[in-house]
Amino acid sequence: MRLDQSLVRRVITATVLVAVLLVVLLLLPAWCWVALVTGVLLIAGNEWGRLTGYSGSGRALFCAALAAGSVAIYWWEQGAPPARTFIQSLPGTLLYGAAAAFWLAVAPAWLAQRWRLQHGLLMAAVGCIVLLPFWHALVYLGPTPGRLLVAMGVVWMADTAGYFVGRRFGRRKLALDISPGKTWEGAWGAFAVAPLYWIAASMLLPELSAHRLSALVWITLMTLLSIVGDLFESWMKRGAGVKDSGRLLPGHGGMLDRVDSLTATLPFAALYFAYLVNGMR
Mean pLDDT of 30-46: 96
How many Cα neighbours within 13 Å face the side chain of 55? Answer: 1
Question: Are 272 and 148 contacting, i.e. CB atoms less than 8 angstroms apart?
Answer: no
> pLDDT digits over 96-110, tens only?
999 999 999 999 999
Single pTM value for the model:
0.92
Phi, psi at residue 173, to the nearest 5°? -75, 135
Q: How far apart are CA 18 and CA 156, in angstroms?
A: 11
Ramachandran region of residue 121, left (φ > 0), alpha (ψ -120 to 50) or beta? alpha
Torsion of CA 176, 17, 138, 266, to 10 degrees: 30
Instruction: Give the pLDDT of residue 160.
Output: 87
Instruction: Print the domain residue range for 131.
Output: 5-277
Of the ranges 15-24, 117-126, 146-155, 230-239, which one carries the lowest mean pLDDT score? 117-126
H-helix segments, the chain: 5-27, 30-52, 56-79, 90-101, 107-113, 120-141, 145-169, 184-204, 212-240, 255-271
- How many domains would you assign to the chain? 1
> pLDDT digits over 147-160, tens only?
999 999 999 888 88
Q: How far apart are CA 107 and CA 91, in angstroms?
A: 22
State the pLDDT confidence band at 60, using cuts at 50, 70 and 90. Answer: very high
